């Protein structure tokens, strides 16, 4: 299916608004995203995860570093704290407002 700007049709969140933190991790290496939908970080920085894409783009999670929010490859994060064990499966929106 044509997802337009979306990377996946569904995501996993801790709540129905995807506003609660799911987990926190430490960046295992520097990352610079290909466009403004991605969040950049340096090795060792804390990354906070708000939702995880599921489906074809399962390698992307969404979260924040400081005041910046965006997508990043999940493989670059070492999880060191889970805030919620509950994961709700929800559809992704057509437009992404960061």
pLDDT of 34: 92
Beta-sheet strands, E only, within the chain: 10-13, 23-27, 46-54, 60-65, 68-73, 77-82, 88-91
Domains of the chain: 10-82 (2.30.30.40)
pLDDT of 77: 97
- Can you give the pLDDT of all 98 residues of the chain as single tens digits? 444 566 888 999 999 999 999 999 999 999 999 999 999 999 999 999 999 998 765 689 999 999 999 999 999 999 999 999 889 999 987 444 44
Q: How many CB atoms lie within 10 A of CB 49?
A: 22
């Amino acid at each position: 299916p044509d997802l337009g700007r979306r990377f996946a049709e569904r995501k996993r969140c801790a709540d129905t608004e995807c506003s609660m933190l799911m987990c926190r991790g430490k960046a295992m290496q520097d990352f610079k995203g290909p466009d403004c939908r991605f969040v950049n970080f340096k090795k060792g920085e804390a990354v906070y995860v708000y939702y995880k894409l599921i489906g074809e783009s399962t390698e992307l999670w969404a979260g924040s570093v400081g005041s910046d929010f965006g997508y990043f490859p999940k493989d670059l994060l070492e999880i060191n704290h889970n805030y919620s064990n509950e994961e709700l499966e929800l559809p992704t929106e057509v437009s992404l407002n960061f």
